[in-house]
Amino acid sequence: MNFYRRARSAFAILFITVLVAFSILNFTTRLPLFRTKLSNLSANSGLNDMIGTVNYIANGSVLGEEELIYSHSLLQVLLGKEESGGFEIIKGNNGELSYGNFYPVFTTHAEEYAFRMRQLRDYESSKGSHVIFINAIDLFDRTHSSYAADLPVNDQNTISDAMLYYLQSYGIDYLDSRKVLKESSLPPEQYRYNTDIHWTVEASFEVFASLIEKLSDEYDLDLDPDSYYTNPDNYTQSLFPQSYVGILGQRASVPFSGMDNFLFIEPDFQTQFTLDYIRDNVEYTVTGDFNKALINHSYWDNGYLFASYLSGQTPWKRITNELSQTGPRFLFICDSFAMPMISFLAPIASEIHVICPLAGQPIDLEQYVAEYDFDFVFVEYYPGNMTEEAFDFFIR
């Protein structure tokens, strides 16, 4: 028994030594984060807010967490699991990650959002403008995705279906990206990244080309008469093999998620833009060609390549095409999915305004559309983002 006691004592010594050392190290490295987040609390914040912030940082950020998350991920793989984080993320047979959801989505507020779209359309029509809705694809593709029996995959296509149904009933035009991609030459496994919620850059290029075609066929706005801008041959395509880990992959970590190829697409022709954008209440201006003005290379360092297009989702941005003052003027009300597509549209528009209501700093959209005149207003959302905040305009 003495030996057993000694063994227990050995653990106690190990425990307290490691714990104290780790706690001190952890606290000193997290101190700047504590300081920043606590100083960001407003004067009106109470003790509850402070406790909440401290809890959030202390529980959500720990020294060496990436290595520990990596270990967790490795453990999931060793156990042959197809879910991570208590079914937060599930893995398909082809390695595609998706959110898990045990409760099928049968109800949405699509009718209300479609009504607000109608109000927007009616207002814009009175100014001679047009409104088109673009639905981004869901992670779950009913014709292609394949999951083990009864894994609770979050199929949000019902949300898109409901939205498009009500838009159609109100006579609002839309572009169903699911249909566009099915009719494209792109193989289904390239519609989306396995590790991300986003569609691929090549998929968004297909949707961009389809949008140009739609504007030409249905609105008599022929922006690309020679099919120059919509021809992929006129773009540089750089492949980064097995180098991309998206949002889902970052949460589940690489052993579980794997990595994606990333195809970066940029124009091969001359471009010159000014990009103004707001992030964290600070306004930035960048001038240069497509690669310099519209691509934020700091995201390349972090590995989150998709967000490098237009710096991802920010509350407001404006792209001014310095080479064409005669092209149309667009407004995008959208989420992060639209950023590559908007980048590809930029060379053929004179000006594009982009508002992302989900980026945290709401802008009064009714006032904004009253202030500016646009040729087209595009509203783009991923079905999971079709929420009250996303359609925060013309509320009845």
Partner 1 sequence: MLYSSLIFILYFFPITVGVYYLIRFSQRLQNVWLLIASLLFYAWGGPLHVIFLLAFIAINYGMGITIDRLQKKEAPVKPALAAACTLNLIPLFIFNYLSPLAKGAGPLLGLNTAAVSSIVAPLGIALITLHSISYLVDIYRQDVKMDKDPVHFALYIAFFPLLIGGPILQYADVVHQIARRNATWEDFSQGVCRFVIGLGKKVLIADAMALIADHIFNLSAMSGSLTSVPASLALVGLIAFALQIYHGLSGYTDMALGLGRIFGFHYRENFNYPYAALSATDFWTRWYTSLTSWFNNYVMAPLAIRNSSNDRMVRNTFIMWLLIGLLFGCEWTFLIWGIWNFAFLIFERVIELENINIPLIPRRIYALVFMLMGWIFFRTGDLYQLSVFVGNLLGRNGNGFFSDMALMFIREYWVVFLAGIVFSTPAVPKLEALLIGKQNAWSKTCSAVYPLLVAALLLFVVIFLIRSSYDPFLASSLL
**Listed residue (290, 281, 284) closest to 309, CA to CA:** 290
Listed ranges 18-26, 196-204, 316-324, 364-372: which one lies at the site for partner 1 (CB under 8 A): 18-26
Comparing CB distances to partner 1, the nearer of 23 and 287 is 23
Cα torsion angle, 5, 11, 16, 21, sign: positive
Cβ neighbours of residue 248 closer than 8 Å, sequence gap 6 or more: 89, 97, 98, 99, 195, 196, 197, 257
If one asks whether residue 261 binds partner 1 (CB under 8 A), the answer comes out as: no
Cβ neighbours of residue 265 closer than 8 Å, sequence gap 6 or more: 201, 202, 205, 232, 235, 236, 237, 340, 344
If one asks whether residue 79 binds partner 1 (CB under 8 A), the answer comes out as: yes
CB 346 within 8 A of CB 322: no
CB 172 within 8 A of CB 117: yes
Closest distance of CB 299 from partner 1, Å = 11
Q: Which ranges in 61-176 belong to alpha helices (H)?
A: 65-78, 110-126, 157-169
Closest distance of CB 312 from partner 1, Å = 11
Among 106, 128, 142, 239, binds partner 1 (CB under 8 A): 106
How far is 134 from 331, CA to CA, in rounded Å? 13
How far is 320 from 353, CA to CA, in rounded Å? 9
Among 65, 222, 283, 364, binds partner 1 (CB under 8 A): 65
Closest distance of CB 176 from partner 1, Å = 27
Q: Which ranges in 170-261 belong to alpha helices (H)?
A: 177-183, 201-219, 247-252, 254-257
Q: Three-class SS of residue 289?
A: coil
Comparing CB distances to partner 1, the nearer of 83 and 112 is 83
Listed ranges 79-87, 165-173, 226-234, 372-380: which one lies at the site for partner 1 (CB under 8 A): 79-87
Alpha-carbon distance values, 395 to 119, 170, 220, 368, 392 (Å): 9, 16, 31, 15, 7
Closest distance of CB 90 from partner 1, Å = 9
Spell out, one character per residue from 24 to 63, where the chain touches partner 1: x when CB under 8 A holds, - when not. Answer: --xx--x-xx-------------xx--x--xxxxxxxxx-
Count of residues making up the chain:
396
Query: 61-87 burial, b if ≥16 CB within 10 A, otherwise e?
Result: eeeeeeeebeebbeebbeeeebbbeeb
Among 42, 44, 86, 226, binds partner 1 (CB under 8 A): 86
Comparing CB distances to partner 1, the nearer of 153 and 348 is 153
Among 28, 40, 41, 66, binds partner 1 (CB under 8 A): 66
Comparing CB distances to partner 1, the nearer of 67 and 389 is 67
The token pair at 6 is 């000694």
Q: Three-class SS of residue 97?
A: strand
DSSP class of 103? S
If one asks whether residue 269 binds partner 1 (CB under 8 A), the answer comes out as: no
Using CB under 8 A as the binding rule, the residues of this chain from 293 to 312 that contact partner 1 are 302
Using CB under 8 A as the binding rule, the residues of this chain from 112 to 151 that contact partner 1 are 148-151
If one asks whether residue 105 binds partner 1 (CB under 8 A), the answer comes out as: no
Residues near partner 1 (CB under 8 A), total: 63
Listed ranges 76-84, 128-136, 322-330, 371-379: which one lies at the site for partner 1 (CB under 8 A): 76-84
Torsion of CA 249, 149, 154, 191, to 10 degrees: 60
Among 53, 77, 85, 268, binds partner 1 (CB under 8 A): 85
If one asks whether residue 82 binds partner 1 (CB under 8 A), the answer comes out as: yes
If one asks whether residue 251 binds partner 1 (CB under 8 A), the answer comes out as: yes
Comparing CB distances to partner 1, the nearer of 40 and 242 is 40
If one asks whether residue 211 binds partner 1 (CB under 8 A), the answer comes out as: no
Listed ranges 23-31, 214-222, 353-361, 371-379: which one lies at the site for partner 1 (CB under 8 A): 23-31
Closest distance of CB 359 from partner 1, Å = 13
How far is 148 from 244, CA to CA, in rounded Å? 25
Alpha-carbon distance values, 171 to 115, 132, 145, 351 (Å): 11, 11, 31, 27
The residue ranges that bind partner 1 (CB under 8 A) are 1, 3-12, 14-16, 19-20, 22-23, 26-27, 30, 32-33, 47-48, 51, 54-62, 65-66, 68-69, 71-72, 75, 79, 81-87, 102-104, 106, 148-152, 247, 250-251, 302
